Amino acid sequence: MNGYSPIGPVVGIVGAGQLARMTQQAAIALGIELRVLAGTPDESAARVIVDTRIGDYRDLADLREFGKGCDAITFDHEHVPTEHIRALAEAGLQVHPGADALVHAQDKAVMRERLTAIGAPCPAWARVSDAAEATAFAAEHGWPLVLKAVRGGYDGRGVWVCRTEAEVTEAFAAGVPLMAEAFVPFERELAVLVARSPHGQGVSYPVVETVQQDGICVEVLAPAPGLDPEEAAQAQRVALNIAHELGVTGLLAVEMFQTAGGLVVNELAMRPHNSGHWTIEGARTSQFEQHLRAVLDLPLGSPSMTAPVVVMANLLGGDDPDLFKRYEHVMAHDPGVKVHFYGKEVRPGRKIGHVTVTGDDLTAVRARARHAAVHLATGEYT
Ligand SMILES: Nc1ncnc2c1ncn2[C@@H]1O[C@H](COP(=O)(O)OP(=O)(O)OP(=O)(O)O)[C@@H](O)[C@H]1O
Ligand SMILES: [Mg+2]
């Protein structure tokens, strides 16, 4: 770019969605220069980051060109081919997380194998190559049976909860490699966000509850209400141990199920995560700042909360694309609500932003967050 020379360290983020966009806010304060690799100039982060490069994250030549001059490379999604990540590291770039860690967030079967090996609590699971093998697994472990795309699933796409053999056959008709898991009769879903730096420092945010609807996270409650402190500490230990054993550098989000029999790990993400958006206002160090600190091998920031209760509610797109006209009501109704809009085209059901409310009383804070989120997304009043 003409006349552009960075003053601080340069962190390159492959992918230009809302996670990269929100990382820019933290980078501004720290004087860190962000560069993003976007597919097109209209992507969420490309709209706000000066040093946007256009290219294909599946193309090694594009990735190499992108990495030139970056002090660290990281990701806004898990779809960069593992072998390309390895090639970038072999060329001398600081890539965080590295390929050997990230593969556990890319491939659910590899993740299950490794978690089982290190003794992290998992449901019964197996690689299955056809409907007959999946049905045999269900005969042993019971129905319903959960089938998951080994790679590429998100927001519940790529997860099939099957109650009959016909549903198993239907899932295989998707034509992607699947694995089987026993259905976990969970009480609720939790998430633990930790950060680990290349020099081995680790920190954990408080355990949160994530509320899902139709496979999409709609609400995050921090800290997880009523969670026994012993169980919370155990969840944090499990997450920090996974980060250590897998050699994760940067953030690691561990999605868990809380069951009557204890905690069970669902899946891993190695980047800022939807379950951590509350940290922008709700923690001393936002997850975005923490990720930048970690990938640059700086000392990590305090994960402590700024208020006793924090609630984040996602904005899912409705039929009306014009959110901005509803800001007035939300802002007038409740000046404490913080609105985050990702600059993404509004499509029904798509995550287009979120709101955060901090306070003392869970019921009140939750109602305020929900009111704002529902009104912004749909124009309705709750
Ligand atoms: N073994 C299981 N037993 C019961 N429910 C499950 C199981 N695995 C997944 N689920 C449900 O399906 C949801 C989506 O599963 P998972 O997190 O593996 O998929 P994903 O599409 O990769 O998710 P994400 O939206 O986090 O990217 C979980 O949040 C949970 O509600
Ligand atoms: Mg998930």
CATH 3.40.50.20 is the classification of domain 10-95: yes
pLDDT of residue 3: 65
Kindly give the distance from the C-alpha atom of residue 155 to the centroid of ligand 1, in angstroms, as a whole number.
Answer: 8
pLDDT of residue 382: 82
- Residue tagged 């040093």 (tokens): 51
Could you tell me the mean pLDDT of each successive run of 10 residues in the chain, 382 residues long? Answer: 78 98 98 98 97 98 98 98 98 98 98 98 97 97 97 85 96 94 98 98 98 93 98 98 98 98 98 98 98 98 98 93 91 98 92 97 98 92 84
252's enclosing H/E stretch is strand 250-259
Residue 159 Cβ contacting ligand 1 at under 6 Å: yes
Residue 158 Cβ contacting ligand 1 at under 6 Å: yes
Quote the CA–CA distance of 145 and 180 in Å, as a whole number: 7
Q: What is the best residue among 159, 252, 256, 257 to mutate for testing ligand 1's pocket, by most ligand atoms within 8 Å of CB?
A: 159
Asked whether this chain's domains 10-95 and 188-378 adopt the same fold, the reply is no
Residue 43 Cβ contacting ligand 1 at under 6 Å: no
Residue 189 Cβ contacting ligand 1 at under 6 Å: yes
DSSP at 38: E
The CATH architecture to which 124-182 belongs is 2-Layer Sandwich (3.30)
Give the tokens for residue 348: 């029904």
Give the tokens for residue 264: 């069970």
pLDDT of residue 32: 97
Q: Give the number of whichever ligand sits closest to the CA of residue 157.
A: 1
Residue 154 Cβ contacting ligand 1 at under 6 Å: yes
pLDDT of residue 260: 97
CATH superfamily of the domain spanning 188-378? ATP-grasp fold, B domain (3.30.470.20)
Give the tokens for residue 161: 């909860």
Are 138 and 183 a contacting pair, CB within 8 Å?
A: no
Nearest CA to ligand 1 atom 1: 183
Nearest CA to ligand 1 atom 25: 155
pTM confidence score:
0.97
Residue 155 Cβ contacting ligand 1 at under 6 Å: yes
Nearest CA to ligand 1 atom 22: 154
Nearest CA to ligand 1 atom 31: 215
pLDDT of residue 212: 94
> Both ends of the chain: CA-CA distance in Å?
48
Whether cis (ω within 30° of 0) applies to the bond prior to 144 is yes
SS3 211: strand
Quote the CA–CA distance of 43 and 65 in Å, as a whole number: 20
Residue 153 Cβ contacting ligand 1 at under 6 Å: yes
Q: Give the number of whichever ligand sits closest to the CA of residue 214.
A: 1
- Which alpha helices (H) appear in 107-164, and where do they start and end? 108-117, 131-141
Instruction: Give whole-number Cα distances, 138 to 21, 115, 121, 166, 345, in Å.
Output: 42, 21, 20, 13, 41
Are 337 and 368 a contacting pair, CB within 8 Å?
A: yes
DSSP 352-382: EEEEEEEES-HHHHHHHHHHHHHHHHHS---
Greatest extent of the chain over all pairs of C-alpha atoms, in Å:
66
Kindly give the distance from the C-alpha atom of residue 335 to the centroid of ligand 1, in angstroms, as a whole number.
Answer: 35
Instruction: Give whole-number Cα distances, 380 to 57, 309, 377, in Å.
Output: 39, 25, 8
Kindly give the distance from the C-alpha atom of residue 255 to the centroid of ligand 2, in angstroms, as a whole number.
Answer: 6
- Which alpha helices (H) appear in 125-183, and where do they start and end? 131-141, 165-172
Closest atom of ligand 1 to 181 CA is 1
Kindly report, residue by residue over 140-161, the tens digit of the pLDDT. Answer: 999 999 999 999 877 778 999 9
Kindly report, residue by residue over 348-378, the tens digit of the pLDDT. Answer: 999 999 999 999 999 999 999 999 999 999 8
Kindly list the domain boundaries of the chain, sorted by start residue.
10-95, 124-182, 188-378
Are 191 and 254 a contacting pair, CB within 8 Å?
A: yes
SS3 251: strand
Quote the CA–CA distance of 70 and 338 in Å, as a whole number: 32
Kindly give the distance from the C-alpha atom of residue 258 to the centroid of ligand 2, in angstroms, as a whole number.
Answer: 14
- Residue tagged 């402590």 (tokens): 304
**Please, what's the b/e burial string for 181-192 (b: 16 or more CB within 10 A of its CB; e: otherwise)?**
bbbbebebbbbb
- Per DSSP, what are the bridge partners of residue 312? 220, 356
Instruction: Give whole-number Cα distances, 346 to 38, 39, 241, 266, 272, in Å.
Output: 19, 19, 39, 29, 22
CA dihedral 185, 287, 323, 360 (to 10 degrees): 70
Kindly report, residue by residue over 66-116, the tens digit of the pLDDT. Answer: 999 999 999 999 999 999 999 999 999 999 999 999 999 999 999 999 999
Quote the CA–CA distance of 79 and 77 in Å, as a whole number: 6
